[in-house]
Structure 1
């Protein structure tokens, strides 16, 4: 289902507005009673013409009704006359359009003929307030279909103020705001609509999130785009959605962030953790990156996972060669204990951070955490990078609370954004 497809105007507007009886009172007492009750008081010529037009419209004899309605319009003098004239014109034009649509659903329709009678009905003092709200919504729908978004927004807002309630209206107002350039206002309204739907026990459609992401990204509103991406994968945390979000964020040409190799490694680690590595290219790029950073054990583990899952084809010679090379280097790496001892004795935390990386690559997350914390305590390191990786290692241990605390210490883009994605993943696991 597409969000914000063209509003099926005829389905909304088919209800006639000329069902009010336009018969002459048979006695003065009846007339007085009707007027006291708030009924219409038509001039004689308008009443006579309306009495001719109404049964023709009810019979759907639009050809015969055309001159009769025109006669009502010509005879209209008072506000009540003009109200009935607009109501009958509206019924005539909407009936003709409805019939044309039923006869040929694919034929284009000129809905603009409804604008004038609707405008008259909205402005007319004789229009009942409840009907005026409905007509304002219908006029907004007409403007929306005609891509007259400022007019549509104005009419929808008027309908809302008059108490009209239609399930489509909040989302139509979002689209109208978006098209008028008020992206921030549209995003706020859409977020409120999503929260309202979720609070009702239902689940807001995925298309709502995708729409907000696409339009925010189109306007180069990076923080808003990232915020919507995180809300999207929190609500719909599929492997495909995780991959799409992370690729859009930092891996595709023209991505939201320009990441260096160290940052890409942590993005690939999240893809691995969220099971969103999709194909051999993902696995090979990840393995190549960590291999070049001197993490052969991690490269070996990633390549073995890709092969075991079938995402790296068994006959891929490049993957086989990379796996053999990584396995040999991981074996030669041996124990990290001597390096760990030097790192803990060093004056700064640089060697501790590197050693923590090596432990993480080997899957020894407890030791990785210990060395990352030592690196932060000693200083002389990129705290945002080390806190990111401390959070990742804690997440791998299942220590969600401390992992989130580590991610919260990461400041500045793009590291803070990466940490935000990791936090979203942790929250989705808690849910």
Structure 2
């Protein structure tokens, strides 16, 4: 989300006052006034006003300055003061554009626009249709000067006056954000995205990234997580999924503090979303599950990494992990014996452990059966079992059943992991 550049502001904010017909000014005092009624300029204002216009057309700014000073000195009525302010605003705008065109790298001082803008906004003779535009421009001037509270006042005034520039909502959001009101800014941005969606438009991806970056920098972890979920639902690419999951639970200072077994469930979601990016991801994942007694899952992950080319064939660690996992699979033997023992065990711990092993083999039907047995027998961490039950159901394609299992996970951080899996259930395919 970019701010409006200073040069663009100056150019866009030119009033076009040279088009005002000072020789025959017309100004209706109110709606009931006769259409032929005119507001007369005194000769003391009309003469220097015409001189100012002529000088501005010729880009003779010194002469225009003198003439506008004379207009201001002679102005008595609101309308005459309006003419003076409009001419001065045009003068200062054109001078800024000329200076910036002559030397684009030179610093620009827009503060000269503030006085005529304030006069135009306050003057009751300023046409109603223009006051909102002037208020917006005054707000943008304050914004560029990092005077964010002042900018917000003028932006609010512009909105109140019916100004409808498409940049106005974004400028309000940016001003709120830069003034430190992260909550207010992101709430406005969320409303803007909702409004766009309702009208059939898709909000730019940069909106989500902006809200995520600002919320994370402000250490607003729940809000950051909420924005991550909105972003990945709107833009579910493999790369974005990896960014979401790394920020959520893998990197240092992640949003969720996870132990190693819990990080495995994040890696499982990376695998489900095809977002394991390189050999580091594959090897860390495989090493974790192998050390947890899930060699079949380690073997499958290594083979997938090798097949995709993301793990180089000559990688020493991958070869060692694969050999170790293969040896452990042979030593463990078939799971059917554990399954029978789990059925007669006094609690559900063996059933849950065996279900984890079946999950690692991608045997989702067996893992679902044993996770449910574990919950029935009890004596297990229900959140852990429901999380893994949800993963097994999700990977088997039972989205409704998975959502029910994930909703049964109550305590953080496992509930946060379940929330990420639930987001995947509802997001479009990457």
Q: Do they fold alike, i.e. is TM over 0.5?
A: yes
Shift of 1:9: 0.7
Measured in 1, the distance between the counterparts of 2:3 and 2:303 equals 45
Matched with 2:191 is 192
Matched with 2:297 is 298
Shift of 1:315: 1.1
CA contact (8 A) 1:18 1:87 kept: no
Matched with 1:12 is 12
Measured in 2, the distance between the counterparts of 1:359 and 1:307 equals 22
**Which stretch shifts more, 161-170 or 413-422?**
413-422
Shift of 1:264: 0.2
Matched with 1:250 is 249
Residues 283-327 of structure 1: per-residue CA shift (max 9 Å, x gap):
111011101110000000001101111111111111101111101
Matched with 1:336 is 335
Measured in 2, the distance between the counterparts of 1:56 and 1:5 equals 30
| Secondary structure at the counterpart of residue 126 of structure 2 | coil
List runs of 5+ in structure 2 lacking aligned partners. Answer: none
Measured in 1, the distance between the counterparts of 2:403 and 2:171 equals 37
| Secondary structure at the counterpart of residue 188 of structure 1 | helix
CA contact (8 A) 2:306 2:312 kept: yes
Give me the TM-score of the superposition, normalised by structure 2: 0.94
Give me the TM-score of the superposition, normalised by structure 1: 0.94
Residues 8-33 of structure 1: per-residue CA shift (max 9 Å, x gap):
3123202423532222689xxx99xx
Q: 1:39 to 1:306 in 2, by over 3 A?
A: farther
Measured in 2, the distance between the counterparts of 1:404 and 1:4 equals 41
Alignment of 1:109-128 (within 5 A): 109-128=108-127
Aligned length: 425
| Secondary structure at the counterpart of residue 202 of structure 2 | coil
| Secondary structure at the counterpart of residue 130 of structure 2 | helix
| Secondary structure at the counterpart of residue 427 of structure 2 | helix
**Which stretch shifts more, 170-179 or 103-112?**
103-112
Matched with 1:413 is 412
Q: 1:3 to 1:381 in 2, by over 3 A?
A: farther
Matched with 2:212 is 213
List runs of 5+ in structure 1 lacking aligned partners. Answer: none
Shift of 1:182: 2.0
Matched with 1:93 is 92
CA contact (8 A) 2:233 2:428 kept: no
Matched with 2:322 is 323
Matched with 1:391 is 390
**Which stretch shifts more, 344-353 or 146-155?**
344-353
CA contact (8 A) 2:15 2:89 kept: no
Measured in 2, the distance between the counterparts of 1:82 and 1:311 equals 72
CA contact (8 A) 2:299 2:326 kept: yes
CA contact (8 A) 2:14 2:94 kept: yes
Q: 1:111 to 1:39 in 2, by over 3 A?
A: farther
Shift of 1:262: 1.6
| Backbone CA RMSD of aligned residues | 2.1
Shift of 1:367: 0.5
**Which stretch shifts more, 392-401 or 94-103?**
94-103
Matched with 1:80 is 79
Shift of 1:102: 2.7
Matched with 1:353 is 352
